[in-house]
Amino acid sequence: MEQLFREYPDVISVEQLQEMLNIGRVLAYKIVKSGAIKSRKIGRDYKITKTAVINYIQSDNKEVRL
């Protein structure tokens, strides 16, 4: 799994999350705000570790209410 995202830095933005998961902006923010992917809000931006994205992909519980 690490090889899949090797071109991304260890800490990513929501925009990079969109690219990694091939999803839109609204869904990316819903996933982050719901806590499904652990993130930290710094100022106005969310910062997400690449490890958190990998854990999300490998988890069984991916339900996010739209």
pLDDT tens digits, 8-40: 999 999 999 999 999 999 999 999 999 999 999
pLDDT on residue 3:
81
Query: Domain holding 25: CATH number?
Result: 1.10.10
**pTM summary value:** 0.85
- Whether 65 is covered by a domain: the verdict is no
- Split at pLDDT 50, 70, 90, the class of 63 is low
- Whether 63 is covered by a domain: the verdict is no
Helix H or strand E encompassing 23: none
- How far is 60 from 44, CA to CA, in rounded Å? 30
**39 secondary structure, DSSP code:** -
Strand spans (E) along the chain: 11-12, 40-42, 45-49
- Whether 14 is covered by a domain: the verdict is yes
- Whether 66 is covered by a domain: the verdict is no
Q: How many domains does the chain have?
A: 1
- Whether 7 is covered by a domain: the verdict is yes
Identify which has the larger pLDDT, 15 or 4.
15
pLDDT, mean over the chain: 91
Q: Are 54 and 2 a contacting pair, CB within 8 Å? A: yes
Domain limits at 6? 2-58
- Whether 45 is covered by a domain: the verdict is yes
- As a whole number of Å, the end-to-end CA separation of the chain is 27
